[in-house]
Chain A
């Protein structure tokens, strides 16, 4: 049984503690996400959902516990040098709440940037793959648009395409439904299910209980996460 879990578990967070200005942002938090699974990370604003995602994407240092992403382990202490994080970058994609598309690049080039400069693909290879990714997310027609010309929903799908460019098995999303109307939420849910069916694991930080209930396999509440008394 333990062996089976090891094989299918994409993300393990164990006893995570993050402190900032001698205040606990996250304490003793544990979580696992398996392949083909959508896990909703729930909790009210400010509870540390985004912090957990940032720790997994190695954008934020943490003080206790450990994080394992598809066999790549992160420990407490400062964030390792970018050169040592290369294997992690191929394993995790992150869609920011604000999308953070590169303002100076078209939608297409937002997706091709990593293909060309990290994977070393040539321009036509990268363009072909990026066009497919955009088309698969229903924004193929917006390939040549600048980020400022995109609607909120379009920008989110371009951001998903960009995060999927390196084909990571684990996808993190921060408040994906924050700026979507009902129809768009349904569309997003369908897309996420499709990604999970492809064998990816999805960890979605959200306070949208309805969305979590409709599309997530499991919901973990960050506030009610186990807090051992000796965590300090």
Chain B
């Protein structure tokens, strides 16, 4: 009884702690993405439970300037920093967060504290052929989703139907550049230099960074709109840190200090500067409309990918089911093994293995890899549906075929399969609708389909309501007619009664 009481008390304490932790005024809770890595935020190799990086030190400097006892880090996916800060998951978002008009319009944004340049990276052998964005006509260019670089590619390249490839992390674009899947990567110069030093340590430099910057931008801290007073205090701390040289020291320690930072500090500290406060709100609706064509294109990708994957799944599934039902023992073992392996492991893992794991043997284009992964995964489920449906055909029907002199193959083709199709139709429709939605997983291997495009759209307009609704409507528009068609077919084939 005492034990139970103590346990309940303990749980209450923890719950209370969780509830009040963001309200603690003594600790500055800030969020960033350690997956983005150094030099922004990365897990400390010496103690992976803590983080290090220049943004970590900037956060600590801000906490000190606000007389907070400490800065506590919260991990969040980079693209979700804005949404999380509004939700109250943390007070300050800081992790290479870019200064954009939309962000300024939607959230409370600090002074710019770092100036970055958007630079192009190309393979070493292409350095003479590709000198700027204009040389990338008809080529594949990779970047991070929901960044200034992404919008830049969208506006400069989309007009002439260039291929852009969006990533969720900043490691894979450079890996794919070296692997030949991309012709160029457009990203912040810090990220590009880090990627270069990573590959250079292996020996020859496999890609180069073009010296001319495509554009420049600033890193800022982002706070919830309601926290504009705190934002003003943080701005004061940042100004102080620029004046007393502590910010410069941080950047020098992480080897990211250059002349443009000095110039930025000078501009910020000049009397009367508000550094682009109050963003360009009028631009937001125009941007929403600008995303509609890419949303439509992404819906087409989703539909095409789903239809092709399902076709592959049906064909392979039929083979697996017949192998399992009619094949000799070794084939039955192999097909059963395949089905259990594929059904027993996550589709996400299979996607990674086919796209990145097989890259050493065969370099599959992203769409093909997605098609194969989805098709081969769903084939295992289809096979079990077909096996069940084939086994559900009454034995008498097969015997009737036998007494008429039909061969086993003819019985399968003329009697068993057509009847099994009726049993299989409903679960197959179900699977297709599930596949339609599972196809959103392939965004992890750079295929921009409907959900990914919606996420990019939502991040850019800073709001999930309209993009989410639009996305849901498009998914429903694709799946509802299919369910209706299946019901009609079922009625036509099986609903007859005397």
Contact = CB atoms under 8 A, between A and B. Distances in A.
Interface of A: 57-59, 82-83, 85-86, 89-90, 92-94, 96, 98, 100-104, 113-114, 117-118, 146, 148-151, 162-163, 165-166
Given A96-B396, A96-B400, A148 B418 contact: no
B410 interface: yes
Given A82-B402, A118-B404, A103 B419 contact: yes
B422 interface: yes
B403 A104 contact: no
5 contacts: A82-B407, A82-B408, A102-B401, A102-B419, A104-B422
Contacts of B407: 82-83
Given A89-B405, A104-B418, A118-B404, A59 B399 contact: yes
Interface string B389-417: 00000101101111111111010001100
A148 B406 contact: no
Interface residues of B, number: 23
Contact of A100 (B396, B418, B496, B497): B396
B403 to A, nearest CB: 5
Nearest to B421: A104
A94 B400 CA distance: 8
Interface string B419-437: 1001000000000000000
A146 B403 contact: no
A98 B396 CA distance: 9
Interface of B: 394, 396-397, 399-408, 410, 414-415, 418-419, 422, 493, 496-498
Given A149-B496, A150-B498, A102 B406 contact: no
B410 A89 contact: no
Contacts of A82: 402, 407-408
Contacts of B402: 58-59, 82, 89
A35 B447 CA distance: 73
A53 B418 CA distance: 28
Contact of B404 (A83, A113, A150): A113
B496 A117 contact: no
A90 B405 contact: yes
Contacts of B397: 100, 102-103
Contacts of B406: 113-114, 117-118
Contacts of A148: 496-498
Contact of B400 (A85, A86, A100, A146): A100
Nearest to B403: A94
A117 B400 contact: no
A32 B325 CA distance: 39
Contacts of B400: 96, 100-102, 162
A151 to B, nearest CB: 7
A104 B404 contact: no
A95 to B, nearest CB: 9
Contacts of A117: 406, 410, 414
Contacts of B498: 148-151
A96 B399 CA distance: 10
Nearest to B497: A148
A104 B408 contact: no
A161 to B, nearest CB: 12
Contacts of A165: 404
Q: Which one of B397, B493, B497 has the highest number of Cβ atoms from chain A below 10 Å of its Cβ?
A: B397
A59 B396 CA distance: 10
Nearest to B495: A148
Task: Give the 4 A-B CB pairs with smallest separation, nearest first.
Answer: A89-B405, A114-B404, A100-B396, A100-B400
A104 B399 CA distance: 15
